[in-house]
Structure 1
Amino acid sequence: MTGGFMLKRFHFLDNLRGVAILMVVALHVFLCYMAYAPEWWFVIDPKQSMFFTYGVVLIDVPVMPIMFFIAGYFAFTSLDKHGVRQFWVAKFRRIVVPWIFGVVVLSPPAMYMILLSRDTAPDFWTFFTDVFWSKMFSQSVFWFLGLLVLFYALLTLCYEVSDRFRTLDLDIKKPGILFTVFFIAVNSGCFLLLNYYYPVDFWKTDLYLIMLQPVRFFLYVFYFFLGVLAWKRGWFQENGYMPKLIPWLLASVISAFIYVHYKMQMPMRGTEFLIKSGNALWFNVFAYSTMMACFAVFYSFFNSANRIWRSFSDSSYGIYLLHSLVVYYGAYFLLNLDASPYVKAEILLTSSVLVCWVLTLLLKRNNVLARII
């Protein structure tokens, strides 16, 4: 094991991870009420608004890179401190068990909602034993855990086979402009290349063990290992690199406007090279700059561990695991409510977060479950 920085909690990263999960819940709520929702979405309410469409477009880009980066940032130090065996014992308990349980137990009723909300559902047993596994298999929100298992395996492989990787000195180094340009350029190139073979939002679900979006897959790999590199280079440590608030916030806002401009042209002009390449470039500029802006914002304003923040961040993983069924079935029961989409979305988002938060706290009273969620 290497020497280096002491493992400590970064409250702003814990809080950012919790808010990122809150944004995932918001994303899934907004999808129910957006105009031009994907035809396959679980519940599509007849009351719709372009406000939620723009919300989906903006939340969808940075939220997963942030989550994969944070996972990578803490992964190497945990692996280096505890060793391979104990690292995987912990990951099996915290990642693999919820992943398997989620795919086998929680994903089928989530997918069933696609048919139920359209009045085309068979009985659930028929769906579970036949339709789900043969025609509608999906890992639902648990795809994230499956990719984490894969990325942890890649990290472990690098750690085991490369002495240089394992014993690399942990030095304070700040990323230069060339590194930022290179990282965005590589991501944009991979994004654009794969976009010639797959739509940006296409999900590949027939691999069973792994569910992914091909166009975004390598982005998530790169962000995970950027997190590993960031820890090795002392980001966020004392005297280490911390993104500057104003420049990155401005970059995030400007790139958001430009990205939305290209994104909204993709349905009609997505085959044109300038539109496709512009969408790829600004997707990745927006993702990276927003992640950096979030680091700066949360370090400056939300770097505390008071009772509410601690409870929310500690419960955020449970909220992620539980929220899909609460959101989809909640949206289903709100279908006939005669109210604006804004009222429905507010009810659904607030109730989903609170229900999952409380349920997580209750489940954590069990010592076994507390070690999992």
Structure 2
Amino acid sequence: MNQRMYFLDNLRAVIILMVVVLHVSLCYMKFAPQWWYVIDPSQSMFFTYVVMLVDVPIMPAMFFLAGYFALPSLQKHGMPRFWSGKFKRIVIPWVLGVLFLAPPSMYMILLSRGKASGYMDFWAGPFWGSMFSQSVFWFLGQLVLFYLVLSCCYRFFPSLQSPPRISRNPSPLLPLLFISVATVSFLGMNQFFRVDTWISDYYLLVFQPLRVFVYLLYFWLGVLAWKRNWFTRQGYTPRILPWLIVTVVSAVFYLTFKGMMFTRGSELPIQLGNALGFNVLAYSVLMTSTALFKAFVNSSNGFWKSFSASSYGIYLFHSLAVYYGAYYLLGLDASPFIKAPLLLLGSTLSCWVLTVALKKIKGVSGFL
């Protein structure tokens, strides 16, 4: 990759770090979901606000970057080699993760509440029934689905097979149209499902019905961005200050309506405010972060090179480090402002070191 584009790899690595921040914060927030893996009695509203804000932009940005990098890979390697690479790097970790890493994550729900029996009995029974979950590996399943959609479109739409073209700044109507469509999708699904509903009945695909189409939109926005040469020297780069202002305003707007969803979530105006706030915040954070990283974090030094190269492994392994680390910290009589940083630092570093070590093993590095 051209050196001036390293900032996108660095951004992806920081987004994955924010996934770890989200999962750590869920352990110490007030009003945590009752099913969350480990709920520490040391809690603070600070972590509740962290969860509410961080939860919004991270996965849209992940799917956007996946789309941005997918089309050039498909054009460069062709369909067979593209899918050979995705099978090794996405499909196999997805399957192995669901079979061997998701079950101990779900087992922690019982273990942390003193209700656990033998692990193998849990794996053979409840895990494949009422407690089935793909844990963090749901992202890989949806990614495979989106790659399939892209591959079908690639075969039938020759415009996707052509190289990117130089673009002028996109029309102001693009973000307005994009946010409007995403908001309508989010709000429409909210008429049938609660905001934080997960559907895992189909085993193969685990998803949030309010967000799945939004994520598909971001994936295709990433494809469009690459086709239009966004973020290159000749192409479009968002302006930092305007989008930063939109980010701050939309964060306040979203927190206001998200808070009202707990008591007035059945009211259509509240649902609309929540949907609009979610989608404006997600889009503005994406624009702000890409502009900031291009301007200030366009580095390929030793730290960023290692962190970026290890970020996928951190994503794959961090859930066990976070949940079991939080479980052992239950016995520590300390403030959540001590526990949470310890857990974040310990889980991130341990997964980073583990990934670096595994990448040195012949035959393993290709999966990470």
User: What is the TM-score with the length of structure 1 in the denominator?
Assistant: 0.97
Give 1:99's aligned residue. 94
Instruction: Indicate if the aligned counterparts of 2:166 and 2:234 stay in contact, CA closer than 8 A.
Output: no
1: CA distance, partners of 2:235 / 2:166:
9
Give the 5 Å matches for 1:1-373.
10-167=5-162, 170-373=165-368
- Structure 1 regions of 5+ residues with no counterpart? 1-5
SS at match of 1:265: helix
State the shift of 1:7 in Å.
7.2
Identical pairs, percent? 56
Aligned residues: 368
Per-residue CA distance 1:183-203 (angstroms, 9 max, x = gap)? 000000000000111111111
Using the alignment, how far apart are the partners of 1:64 and 1:276 within structure 2? Answer: 21
1:328-356 CA-to-partner distances (Å, cap 9, x unmatched) read: 00000011110001101011000000000
Distance in 1, matches of 2:6 and 2:158, equals: 31
The TM-score, its normalising length taken from structure 2, stands at 0.98
- Uncovered stretches (5+) of structure 2, i.e. residues with no partner: none
Where in structure 1 do 4 or more consecutive aligned residues deviate above 6 Å?
Answer: 6-9
| Contact preservation (8 Å) 1:172, 1:240 | yes
Structure 1 counterpart SS, 2:43: coil
Q: Tell me, yes or no, if the aligned pair for 2:67 and 2:221 is still in contact at 8 Å.
A: yes
Cα deviation, residue 369, structure 1: 1.1
State how far apart, in whole Å, the 2-side matches of 1:164 and 1:107 are: 39
Aligned mates of 1:95, 1:184 — CA distance in 2:
29
- Distance, in Å, in 2 between the alignment partners of 1:217 and 1:169 is 27
2:4–2:298 Cα contact (<8 Å) kept = no
Q: How far did 1:168 drift?
A: 7.2
Kindly provide the CA deviation profile for residues 160-210 of structure 1, in whole angstroms up to 9, marking residues without a partner as x: 122233337634242111111000000000000001111111110111001
Contact 1:327/1:352 (8 A) holds in 2: yes
Distance 2:51 2:129 in 1: 30
Q: Which deviates more from structure 2 when the two are superposed, residues 319-328 or residues 9-18?
A: 9-18
Query: Match of 2:350, as an amino acid?
Result: V
- Of stretches 10-19 and 168-177 in structure 1, the one that deviates more from structure 2 is 168-177
Whole-angstrom distance in 2 between the partners of 1:325 and 1:20:
19
Q: Distance in 2 between matches of 1:45 and 1:31?
A: 9
Opposite residue 314 of structure 2, the aligned amino acid is: I
Matched residue type, 2:57: P
Give the 3-state SS of the residue equivalent to 2:202 in structure 1.
Answer: coil
Cα shift at 1:34: 0.2
SS of the residue aligned with 1:235? coil
Give the match for residue 3 of structure 1. none
* AA of the residue aligned to 1:217: V
SS at match of 1:256: helix
Contact 2:3 2:300 in 1 (8 A): no
Shift, 1:271, TM fit: 1.1
Contact 2:37 2:323 in 1 (8 A): yes
